[in-house]
């Protein structure tokens, strides 16, 4: 069944939160546009009822790898909505629905949604001028979304701001060129909507008017792609903690554990055993790739980490499998720093090439930052008059000390983590 977590995973995998609203009337134009953008965006939104010669079997073939929303805006009694949605839910990942008819409309959509693995986005706010939605109505839609019986099919909202923490927020009305049109549509910028807590940006005419004639599509799409890192971390970290606890990787005892830092605690995060749970490790890798994008954006004003001359250095032992998995996913090179120089072979202290590269340290758990400080000292001690290194940041899975900076021999390093506990 489609879920909030699956959508988040797709955002992380695609490194995109952009939905393009392909409001073409000609089916051939729709197909051409999809072929141009399917590997570059999170998904598409369509109005199937305006498309001439519409062929849903084409969408059935791409469902799953590209999020498909049919913006049908169901708003009828349950029985009629059930009949209207039977075919639409077969090729859609998500459908849109007004809350105006009450619980009956969700009850009417539920069977087709569950059968066909399709979720619902409830329309809680609109971007059109003088729309009749009030704050009281929005609150009632939120209540409807959080009703226990609806949680398995309601994935989030069509809205203009963040409404709750456990669901996703999709916002239409995004345009960089204009602020309104002649028919009462207001537009907002990606940056403003992300500041308002929006997870997914839906862009129509700002892209579709240029898409079929644009020579550099990547630049066009990049203008509208802006991940909400705060929301992603909150969504992902909640799920990750549940997974870690379920696999026994978070140990709680009445007796105290002694941590590598010397600190004693009743809780122990056994993240080194993550190598036995490749699915969780894969999810951690997906999210860390997003942290890398954010880090490179902050450091180099470039979120494309593959063009930032970075290498990954996993701290033995817990950081090494995480760094390796991240390297395989992102194609960013990695290195291994030995505590002692080899006494045979090539006598290496560092395996891998990090000369003239920006080194990012990967750690499993940070408590005081002592391991990172020691790692930087070892790296500094391995330098020569001709060879110098540059460490710029540290990433970790667990951050026990709410640490955001660590003073090292390479200066004050930024620290970014998935879970702050």
| Bridge partner list, 299 | none
CA-nearest of 320, 330, 290, 315 to 376 is 315
How far apart (Å, rounded) are the C-alpha atoms in residues 64 and 60?
Answer: 9
Active site residue 181: no
| Bridge partner list, 313 | 335, 361
Give yes or no for a contact between 106 and 154, defined as CB atoms under 8 angstroms apart.
Answer: yes
| Cβ atoms within 10 Å of 226's Cβ, excluding its own | 21
Mean pLDDT rounded to a whole number for the chain: 90
For residue 349, the model assigns a pLDDT of 66
Cα–Cα distances in angstroms (integers) from residue 127 to residues 28, 156, 179, 183, 201, in the given order = 29, 17, 11, 12, 13
For residue 182, the model assigns a pLDDT of 60
For residue 205, the model assigns a pLDDT of 86
How far apart (Å, rounded) are the C-alpha atoms in residues 16 and 7?
Answer: 11
Structure token digits, residue 235: 């969504």
Catalytic residue among 28, 39, 52, 73: 73
Structure token digits, residue 86: 């039977």
Active site residue 73: yes
Give the percent of the chain with pLDDT over 70.
95
Kindly tell me the sign of the dihedral angle through the C-alpha atoms of 211, 214, 215, 220. negative
Residues 228-284: tens digit of each pLDDT: 999 999 999 988 999 999 999 999 988 888 887 788 889 999 999 999 999 999 999
How far apart (Å, rounded) are the C-alpha atoms in residues 164 and 149?
Answer: 18
Give the percent of the chain with pLDDT over 90.
71
Catalytic residue among 45, 63, 70, 71: 71
How far apart (Å, rounded) are the C-alpha atoms in residues 27 and 388?
Answer: 58
CA-nearest of 150, 235, 172, 230 to 44 is 172
Active site residue 71: yes
Judged against a pLDDT cut of 60, whether residue 333 lies above it is answered with: yes
Strands 310-314 and 358-366: parallel
Residues 2-28: tens digit of each pLDDT: 999 999 999 999 999 999 999 999 999
The alpha carbon torsion through 14, 232, 166, 170 (nearest 10 deg) reads -50
Domain architecture of the chain: domains with CATH: 4-227 (3.20.20.70), 236-420 (3.40.50.2020)
Catalytic residue among 23, 29, 76, 107: 76
| Cβ atoms within 10 Å of 242's Cβ, excluding its own | 12
Residues 33-57: tens digit of each pLDDT: 999 999 999 999 999 999 999 998 8
Higher pLDDT, 103 or 213: 103
């Amino acid at each position: 069944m489609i879920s909030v977590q699956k959508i988040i995973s797709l955002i992380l995998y695609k490194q995109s939160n952009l939905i393009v609203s392909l409001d073409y009337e000609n089916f051939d134009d729709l197909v051409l546009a999809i072929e141009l953008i399917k590997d570059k965006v999170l998904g598409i939104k369509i109005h199937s009822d305006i498309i001439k010669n519409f062929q849903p079997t084409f969408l059935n073939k791409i469902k799953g790898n590209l999020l498909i929303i049919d913006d049908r805006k169901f708003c009828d009694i349950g029985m009629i909505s059930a009949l209207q949605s039977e075919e639409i839910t077969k090729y859609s990942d998500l459908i849109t629905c007004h809350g105006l008819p009450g619980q009956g409309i969700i009850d009417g959509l539920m069977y087709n949604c569950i059968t066909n693995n399709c979720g619902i986005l409830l329309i809680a706010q609109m971007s059109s001028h003088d729309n009749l939605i009030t704050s009281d109505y929005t609150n009632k839609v939120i209540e409807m979304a959080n009703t226990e019986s609806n949680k398995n099919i309601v994935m989030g909202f069509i809205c203009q701001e963040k409404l709750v923490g456990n669901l996703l927020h999709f916002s239409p009305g995004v345009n960089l060129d204009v602020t309104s049109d002649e028919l009462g549509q207001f537009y907002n910028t990606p940056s403003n909507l992300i500041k308002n807590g929006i997870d997914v940006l839906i862009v129509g005419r700002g892209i579709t008017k240029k898409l079929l004639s644009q020579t550099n599509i990547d630049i066009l799409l990049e203008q509208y792609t802006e991940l909400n890192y705060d929301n992603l971390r909150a969504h992902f970290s909640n799920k990750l903690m549940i997974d870690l606890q379920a696999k026994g990787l978070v140990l709680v005892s009445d007796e105290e554990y002694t941590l590598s830092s010397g600190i004693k605690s009743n809780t122990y995060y056994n993240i080194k055993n993550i190598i036995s749970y490749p699915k969780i490790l894969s999810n951690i890798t997906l999210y860390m790739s997003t942290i890398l994008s954010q880090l490179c954006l902050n450091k180099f004003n470039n979120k494309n980490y593959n063009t930032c001359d970075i290498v990954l250095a996993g701290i033995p032992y817990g950081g090494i499998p995480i760094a390796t998995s991240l390297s395989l996913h992102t194609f960013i090179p990695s290195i291994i720093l030995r505590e002692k120089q080899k006494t045979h072979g090539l006598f290496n202290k560092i395996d891998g090439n990090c000369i003239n590269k920006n080194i990012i340290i990967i750690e499993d758990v940070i408590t005081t930052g002592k391991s990172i400080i020691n790692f930087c000292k070892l790296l500094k001690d391995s330098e020569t008059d001709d060879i110098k290194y540059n460490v710029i940041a540290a990433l970790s899975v667990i951050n026990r000390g709410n640490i955001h900076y660590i003073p090292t021999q390479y200066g004050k390093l930024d620290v970014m983590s998935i879970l702050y506990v």
